[in-house]
Structure 1
Amino acid sequence: MWAGNYPNGAVYIVTCTAPLGAPGTSGGWVWLATPPDGFGATETTPGELAARAVELMQLTGPAIGHTPDPGLTGLVGVPVWLWTEVGPTTWGPNTATASVPGLSVTATAQASEIAWEMGDGTTMRCANPGTPYHEGGIQSPTCHHVYQQSSAGQPDDAYRITATTTWQVTWVGGGASGSLTVTRTSSSTVRIGEMQVLITG
C-alpha cells in the first residue's frame, strides 16, 4: 500500500459512492504525498478560508498624508494634497494563504480607490494612492481638495478627514474561486485658515 514511500506521505482509503439505488463501486487503498483536497476539513469551506486569509493580510485604512503637515495651518483656496503611504497593508498588492488539513486557499488583495471625506461635506474619490507633496508643488497631479471656508468653529478648529480604502480580493483553492470587497478606514485632521490682507493708503 505504501508503494515504497514509507514513512513519507500517508495511505488513504478511497470509498466510491453511487446514487441511491445504483450499484456501488469498490474503492481501495492509495498512497499520497499530501492530503487530498478537503481531507479533515469537511466543516470549513473555501469561502471561510478566504475570509481568514484576508484577516492574515492585516489590511488597514490609508496611512494618511496631507498638506499642510499636522500642526500647521493651510489656507482657503490652496489645494490640500491627499495621499497614502504605499505598502502591502495600505495599498497592496497583498497575498496570504489560509489552511486547514487538506485544504488551502490563497487570496490576493489590491486597493481600487480611496474615498476621502473632507469634513466640509465633500467626498473625493481617488482611484490611486495619491502623490506625496514635494517642495514647490501647487496642485496635486492625482488627488487634492480645495477648502472654500476656514475650519474655525469646527471641533478643535480643524476639519476631520476620514479616508476609506476599498480593497478588491480574489481567492482560489479547494477546487473553487471567488472574489469579495472589503473596506478599511482611518482618519486625520487639518486646520484651514483665511489670509487677511491689510491695505493702507
Structure 2
Amino acid sequence: MPCFDANWGWFSNHDGCYYRLRDPQPAPTEAVWAGHYPDGAVYDVSCLDPTNGPATSGGWTWLASAPEGFGATATTPGDVAARAVDQMALVGPAIGITVTPDKTGLVGVPVWLWTAVSPTTWGPNTATASVPGLSVTATARATQIAWDMGDGTVKVCKGPGTAYVAGGVHSPTCEHVYVASSAGQPNDAFRVTATATWEVTWTGGGTSGTLTVTRSSSTTVRIGELQVLVTG
C-alpha cells in the first residue's frame, strides 16, 4: 500500500489503517476527546477492507501522539532490503590466527590469518523482509577481509583464508610477517582488526539492486624477538 494517500492520509503498518489529522480539530466539548483536550490530537481513520479497499467507516479517534508511519517518507525496496540484512545478523570474521592471545609469536615468522566460515561470518546468507504490499529477498556474501595488523600494515585477502595446518610455514592464501616486536604497544601486543566486506544482492517490488556492508572483529597478538645466546 502507498505510504500516503491524498484522500485518506498516512498509512500505518501497525494496524493497516490510514490516518489523517482532522482539520479543523473537533470542539473541546466533542466526546472523541474523552477528557484529553488539549493534549494529543484527533485523526480521521480509514481502515482497509480486504474486498473493497480503504473504507471511511473508521471515523475519528483521539491519539496522544502521531500514529506509527504518520508523516513518513515512502518505504523503498532498498529500505526493505536493508531490513533483510539486519535479519541476517552478520558479524565480523571469526578470527583464526596462529598466534593466539595466550601465545607469543616471533619477528620474521609468518602469521596465518583466516576466518571460520559460517552464514554469519562469510556467507552466503539469505533473508526476506516484508512490509504491507512489498517483500524483498536479499543474499549476502563476503568478498574480502582487510586485516589491520596493528603495526601500520593492512593486508587485504580476497578469501576467508586457510586454517593453520600443523607443521606449515607459509599460508597458501593469507598471512603477515611482523618485522618488529610488539614491545611498547598497549599490553605489549598489536591489536589486529579484521573487516569483512559483504556484497548484498536483492530482488523485490519488481526491481533489484545491490548494497555493500562491512563487519569487523578484533584480537591481539604478541610478537617477540628470538634471542640467541652465544657463549665463548
TM class, shorter-chain normalised? Answer: 0.7 to 0.9
**1:18-167 equivalent positions in 2, closer than 5 A:** 43-167=74-198
Aligned structure 1 segments of 4 or more residues deviating by more than 2 angstroms: 10-13
| CA displacement 1:141-168 (0-9 Å, x = unmatched) | 1000000000000000000001100000
One-letter code aligned to 1:200: T
Q: CA deviation at 1:12?
A: 5.5
Q: Relative contact order (alpha carbons < 8 A, sep ≥ 6): 1 or 2 greater?
A: 1
Give the 3-state SS of the residue equivalent to 1:47 in structure 2: helix
Q: CA deviation at 1:100?
A: 1.4
CA 1:12–1:103: 2 relative to 1, 3 Å: farther
2:91, 2:228 → 1: CA distance? 43
Give the 3-state SS of the residue equivalent to 1:104 in structure 2: strand
Give the 3-state SS of the residue equivalent to 2:122 in structure 1: coil
Q: CA deviation at 1:101?
A: 2.2
State percent identity of aligned pairs. Answer: 71
TM-score by length of 2: 0.68
* Structure 2 stretches lacking a partner, 5+ long: 1-49, 54-72
1:164, 1:101 → 2: CA distance? 35
> 1:174 corresponds to which residue?
205
Larger Rg: 1 or 2? 2
| CA displacement 1:51-79 (0-9 Å, x = unmatched) | 10010011111011101122010000000
One-letter code aligned to 1:74: G
One-letter code aligned to 1:122: T
Q: CA deviation at 1:43?
A: 3.5
> 2:43 corresponds to which residue?
none
TM-score by length of 1: 0.79
One-letter code aligned to 1:195: L
CA 1:141–1:159: 2 relative to 1, 3 Å: same
One-letter code aligned to 1:147: Y
1:157, 1:113 → 2: CA distance? 29
Q: CA deviation at 1:46?
A: 0.7
2:123, 2:226 → 1: CA distance? 39
2:134, 2:80 → 1: CA distance? 9
CA 1:140–1:12: 2 relative to 1, 3 Å: farther
One-letter code aligned to 2:88: M
Q: CA deviation at 1:137?
A: 0.9
What is the number of residues matched between the two proteins?
Answer: 164
1:132, 1:199 → 2: CA distance? 36
